[in-house]
Chains A and B, each alone.
Chain A
């Protein structure tokens, strides 16, 4: 669409092992500004481990992991998860990580926490700048609620919602960080067709309307092929292929990695 792609994040020769098990070996990839990058691969290929490295939950034993922002290179391996979040990398988890007894609104508001400047004293008094700040954050949260069309469940406790809606709230919480890069771990797992279509539309809208770069792990090949600009394929902790969806579709290595999975083969054929 545009000119030369701008690189936003890159991983070089990442190696992560737990004891004798190598989760990631010599993984390199880059994420470009404004794209939707899908990471696919069979179970246990290391997809979630890779996201965990990016968001700072795991520390790889070796390699480089760099986020480029405002012309500066931030070495993510030296930062803690909350610092990475503040830099603009947000994450929605596969297993919904929300406070079940809090309302949708409260959960999303919590996502704004990294941007809040108040301390015990100013918040306790709730006066002057603190009020302004609260209103500003609440407004942003309402924009997200509007964007994801969850107005009708705004005041409902998350635990009472259907699974598909909880996934949407999880996405909303991640969006509340105002991320530049959004990491989505199987955003559509366990959803029915209609919910998947909704979620796919939201991801596209987030990417296009808000200019958020998306890195996505997904098992549904139909979704991956439709949604992503580029695909990276992992198998046994290694990158075995990388390219546009139509290239991946015909890559013999990928077909081999997925061999035996007929449903998948249909999509790939």
Chain B
């Protein structure tokens, strides 16, 4: 059995030959690359790198949008016994500098002028990097640097090298070992600098094999790769599982065309972080609000039926025959068209992972008939260790451990796991490795427990769990997810517990959706900051906060909130590159705002520095209103959390 990724590629090229391996939309047409061609290009690029001096154990950094060249470069590096490291394409120059330098990469594969310019900006501080190889030559005709090469040029070097050494590539591939490190995966780093998790071929392949044991996939299946390839979830699907199963990986034309491309491909499997699912829900909700009253009424009737069926299934019961008949009608009238519109119709399974997804979003997709399942795992365990099984989905849980995976709860409540997919350590960081990996057990830093059916329940990052005034433990993420179910709320950061006497929230409005809403009501606005501070917008958000509150126990209810003057941004280090809120950083950066939420002041002055894409900074100053909510007397609808 093939035990490394390059060996799998060679085996697939023999097994599938001319069947489609990769597809990319270009010039308006889906262009295909067969498994044989895929291997051919990997061979050429790998030998090209060798010709330029690549040694086994070297690192190759890759930065760019999702394109065939990205994965070709990755497998080419691995075929030569080197290690690939993906860098998020929206990383600013300083971040790229840190990662490339820290990883000791000698080669950087960069997509286009934009990425090359960022690299050139910090090239002086990258003494170990020797070559930049780009694959979109546009705009770089007059770049004359000896270390800057065209991808095709390198492939041509490799083809020439192959003619001289016809067995070299095959020998190299056979020399790869399952315990060789295949990739460096940058951890999302909600705290501090990103770390580089070292994952071996064996880690990635065993994860993929265990996954398809639970959820089989076919070589005929289609998958759309549109999330950043450095993310472990995308590595898991587009590289490891794709090679193990042999399904087709499709790359969108441009990041802006993902929605259309999703519809054109109609994938059988998807894995996306919660924000993708949340934005789909928002889009449906906003469209429905815009439509005619009749259509809205039909939609609401159908959703009601859908929710009843979904809730019955969640409870482990089969819905009654009458309800099933109604569901078929609702499906035909409403759900099929919605699923068709978003390209979800052929989906057999959809996964969400990377962060917690609110129960409301879960129910929504199951009402629609999309088999959305929770994945739980860390980068350090190749992305996945726990998963819902078909037909056994409970939205407050993350499911059961994968085959070959042991999960247990430490005495302090921390989730520990052990499996063949657990990484070998962080690159050049033995202290962090020793803290995370103890006797083969991966320490997640998440708090959780098992329910009566053996499902794992994740409460939150252990450090984030708050103890409320009345002594109950509560997860801020749970409240945030409830808030984010509103199409008008993009991001929320909840504070409470500990020294805080009650719960408060900093809220980011969703600029597009609130903007449309304001336009319909003829509310004029100029910028994000201006819109966020409109009294009407405060009213709108207040209504959604109140709705959220009505689902929460009294001590967990939001008593004050304010609408932030700017969107939280990864360029300002407020979010990780996978768009998770860096809670402690936000709390620190906006400590004056948080203090004001607890001081009883009606508003707070804010001055903040924002960083543009090109590194320039600007200062904005404005007054933010603080909205206080009455304590409601109605009996609380108690809900167990996490």
Contacts and interface: CB of A to CB of B under 8 A. Distances in A.
Contact of A152 (B27, B138, B141, B260): B260
Contacts of B142: 208
Nearest to B25: A151
Contacts of A201: 139
Contacts of A149: 254
B27 A146 contact: yes
B525 to A, nearest CB: 16
Interface string B133-154: 0000011011000000000000
Quick one: which of A146, A149, A201, A204 has the most chain B CB within 10 A? Answer: A146
B125 to A, nearest CB: 26
Nearest to B258: A152
A149 B253 CA distance: 10
Interface of A, secondary structure class, is helix
B18 to A, nearest CB: 24
Quick one: which of B26, B27, B139 has the most chain A CB within 10 A? Answer: B27
**Interface residues on chain B, size class:** 10 to 19
Interface stretch (A55-63, A81-89, A137-145): A137-145
A209 B141 contact: yes
A143 B141 contact: no
Contact of A142 (B27, B141, B256, B257): B27
Contacts of B254: 149, 151-152
Contacts of A147: 138
A145 B257 CA distance: 13
A143 B28 contact: no
B141 A154 contact: no
A26 interface: no
Interface string A223-241: 0000000000000000000
B256 A205 contact: no
Nearest to B139: A205
A152 B28 contact: no
A145 B28 contact: yes
A145 B253 CA distance: 12
A140 B368 CA distance: 42
B226 to A, nearest CB: 13
A142 B253 CA distance: 12
Interface in B131-184: 138-139, 141-142
A209 B139 contact: yes
Contacts of B256: 151-152
B144 to A, nearest CB: 12
Quick one: which of B28, B142, B256, B260 has the most chain A CB within 10 A? Answer: B28
Interface string B488-507: 00000000000000000000
Contacts of B260: 152
B27 A143 contact: yes
Interface string A125-146: 0000000000000010011011
A142 B27 CA distance: 5
A139 B26 CA distance: 11
Nearest to A140: B27
A185 B29 CA distance: 33
Contacts of A139: 27
Contact of B26 (A146, A152, A154, A205): A146
Contacts of B253: 151-152
Given A146-B26, A154-B28, A209 B138 contact: yes
Contact of B138 (A145, A154, A205): A205
Interface in A40-95: none
A205 B139 CA distance: 6
A202 to B, nearest CB: 10
Interface string B238-277: 0000000000000001101100100000000000000000
Contact of B257 (A143, A151, A208, A209): A151
Interface in B1-40: 26-29
Nearest to B614: A197
A151 B141 CA distance: 23
A251 to B, nearest CB: 29
A208 B137 CA distance: 12
A149 B254 CA distance: 8
A186 B83 CA distance: 50
A151 B138 contact: no
Nearest to A1: B142
Contact of B28 (A151, A204, A208, A209): A151
A142 B28 contact: yes
A151 B65 CA distance: 15
Contacts of A145: 27-28
Interface in A201-222: 201, 204-205, 208-209
Interface in A154-186: 154
A40 B257 CA distance: 38
A112 to B, nearest CB: 15
B552 to A, nearest CB: 40
Nearest to B254: A151
A209 B139 CA distance: 7
Contacts of A143: 27
Contacts of A208: 139, 141-142
A48 B139 CA distance: 30
B472 to A, nearest CB: 48
Contacts of A142: 27-29
B139 A152 contact: no
B242 to A, nearest CB: 24
Contacts of B257: 151-152
A131 to B, nearest CB: 16
A201 B112 CA distance: 14
16 contacts: A139-B27, A142-B27, A142-B28, A142-B29, A143-B27, A146-B26, A146-B27, A151-B257, A152-B253, A152-B256, A152-B257, A152-B260, A205-B138, A208-B141, A208-B142, A209-B138
Given A145-B27, A149-B254, 10 more contacts: A145-B28, A146-B26, A151-B256, A152-B254, A152-B256, A204-B139, A208-B141, A208-B142, A209-B138, A209-B141
Interface of B: 26-29, 138-139, 141-142, 253-254, 256-257, 260
List the 4 shortest-distance A-B pairs measured between CB atoms, nearest first.
A142-B27, A152-B256, A152-B257, A142-B28
